[in-house]
Amino acid sequence: MKLVIIGGVAGGASAAARARRLSEDAEIVLFERGPDVSFANCGLPYYVGGTIAQREKLLVTTAERLHARFNLDVRTRSSVEAIDRAAKKVRVRDLASGREYEESYDKLILAPGAMPIKPPIPGIDLPGIFALRNLQDVDQIKARIDQGVKQAIVVGAGFIGLELVENLVRRGVGTTLVELQDQVLPPLDKEMTTPIVEKLAAKGVTVLLGQSAVGFEQTAGGLIVRLKSGQQLPAQLVIMGVGVRPENKLAVESGLEVGPRGGIRVNDHLLTSDPDIYAVGDAIEVVDYVFGEPTQVPLAGPANRQGRIAADNVFGRSSSYRGTQGTAVVGVFEITAAMTGASEKALQRAKRPYRKIYIHPANHAGYYPGAEGMVLKLLFHPETGRIFGAQAVGGAGVDKRIDVLAVAIQAGMTVFDLEEMELAYAPQYGSAKDPINMAGFVAAGMLRGDHPQIDLEAVLAAPPDEQSLLVDVRTPQEFCQGHIPGALNIPVDELRSRLGELPRQGQIVVYCQVGQRGYLATRILQQSGFSVKNIGGGYKTYRLW
């Protein structure tokens, strides 16, 4: 068996190592266009900022080490230029010498990744404008900063854009973030990104939402970035982080099927439309785990796992890829934002029925010093309670809760299962009722009808003649510090003795700080014959809007 692999980083290197573990006899040739294999793309922003101080730490392994340990024939600076499917050969250009040659294969794995999107904006090729994909890019960006950059502009507020903003600020560079959409981190729902925007502002970052770069000009003092609004921003460094596009040239030119967004089409064994060619990583179209529809999700975890699966199938083990949930996490200064599965806007786009809850728990017991808060949003089926997606933003413990929920989604669990989850607890790590259990209690209570809730949007959007009486059940001190306009303040501890102040006709909507006292208020009022609903997540959720 002669296996040829194109692309030597996340998916390609994983496939190669797995292939060798499965077969000592196979001839395995790995082509990588760049000078490095298996480098840590995900660490690049932190090398810009200096948290990762040594460049060599970004090299997870080298061609030499891959050869020594796995007996792989690794050829760096070798670009595969074409695939001849009929003859089962690839044409390779040795970039050092310019020499071209052919290499035959029995099986081929494509792992060419995705390239940064370069929008056709006038001036985009000017010096000082970069995208970040590999070590060569990061070397240039670092060199530019070392020459002295006062102002930088990052275009695109996705995961990589935000990581770059943080690291530029760490380097003392004044940074402006420009984003086309009306929110940062577009995969998340907008209200969940409010803490991130507040944190960016607190760190001195100028965030321009609903804005796009329409032109770049070189002046004596550096670059000028022209925005759609007409604003002109001076900068010595611009980094474009507006997304990636699958590297599908080889696939397209050799007639392999690709999807509408350019991802190489594969089946669940990661086999392309050619029975001898597999494809993995950012270059492929995957099945969305929740919706069951084709999508593209460029993430390192899926790429690595897909590499293993493709190698399994090459060597006769029938391994399947289950689809991608889009479980992702990003740090923005002291804030962590993470998500898994479907967002609310994706559910709305797909016209799927859903319900949602918000909770605002601490990462561990409040009485133990150092507890950090978070907001956790859970989306689920309105009848079965099956979990569709979750997002969390806050301090410590966000990643752990999203990981647990990612497993729950993959296991097909419901909100009722979350009530029963047994999770590790000691006061410095969690709570006896973990945020995961709390989310289960709130969501399951809602579905059982014990805890009637109303979404904040419905309250805010109600026309004046249909508005419910709004009762804030927090303390007068909390009420004075800020409340939803028009609310009446009756603290929950006084509610039983002040029922006479409330109308028996029409619906009452209650809220508290995070939803818990509001829940108690609904129990009191419901059992006294009132029609009542609680605003899930309370005033803290209102503050996100």
Residues contributing to the site for ligand FAD (CB under 6 A): 6-7, 9-12, 31-34, 41-42, 44-45, 79-80, 111-113, 132-133, 160, 247, 250, 281-283, 298-301, 303
Q: How far is CA 283 from CA 7, 109, 267, 309, in A?
A: 11, 11, 14, 15
CA distance 72 to 206: 48
- Buried residues in 110-148 as b, exposed as e (16+ CB within 10 A): bbbbbbbeeeebebeeeebbbbbbbbebbeebbebbeee
Which token pair is 228?
């759609």
DSSP state of 258: B
| Residue closer to ligand FAD (CB basis): 111 or 442 | 111
In the set 1, 22, 42, 224, the catalytic residue is 42
Q: Are 444 and 382 in contact (CB under 8 A)?
A: no
**Shortest Å distance, C-beta 472 to ligand FAD:** 41
Identify which of 337, 360, 379, 358 has the alpha carbon closest to the alpha carbon of residue 185: 337
Q: Which two tokens stand for residue 205?
A: 């970052």
CB of 327 to ligand FAD, least distance (A): 9
Nearest-approach distance from CB 408 to ligand FAD, in angstroms? 20
Residue nearest to ligand FAD (CB): 281
Alpha-carbon distance values, 512 to 300, 376, 443, 480, 492 (Å) = 41, 17, 17, 13, 9
Which residues are 4's β-sheet partners? 29, 108
Closer CB to ligand FAD, 255 or 301, in the complex? 301
| Residue placing its CB nearer to ligand FAD in the complex, 246 or 435 | 246
Query: Residue 113 or 385: which CB sits closer to ligand FAD?
Result: 113
Spatial neighbors of 455 by CB under 8 A, at least 6 apart, are 356, 535, 536
Nearer to ligand FAD, 8 or 361 (CB): 8
Residues 223, 153: Cα–Cα separation, whole Å: 10
**161 versus 518: smaller Cβ distance to ligand FAD:** 161
Main-chain dihedrals φ then ψ at residue 28, nearest 5 degrees: -125, 115
Among 377, 359, 379, 381, residue whose Cα is nearest residue 434: 359
User: Least distance (Å) from ligand FAD to the CB of residue 266?
Assistant: 12
Q: How near is the Cβ of 278 to ligand FAD at its closest, in Å?
A: 12
**Which of residues 179 and 282 has its CB atom nearest to ligand FAD in the complex?**
282
Q: Are 403 and 339 in contact (CB under 8 A)?
A: no
444 close to 482: Cβ distance less than 8 angstroms:
no
Q: How far is the CB of 455 from ligand FAD (least distance, A)?
A: 31
Long-range pairs, 405-408, Cβ under 8 A, ≥24: 405/340, 405/341, 405/378, 405/436, 406/325, 406/327, 406/340, 406/341
CA distance 99 to 50: 38
Alpha helices (runs of H) in 294-371, residue ranges in sequence order: 300-314, 344-349
Instruction: Quote the least distance from Cβ 509 to ligand FAD, whole Å.
Output: 41
Q: Which is nearer to ligand FAD, 39 or 358 (CB)?
A: 39
480 is catalytic: no
φ/ψ of 513, rounded to 5, equals: -80, -45
Question: Taking the complex as a whole, how short is the minimal distance between the CB of residue 116 and ligand FAD, in angstroms?
Answer: 8
**CA–centroid distance for 192 within its chain:** 12
Q: Kindly list the catalytic residues.
A: 42
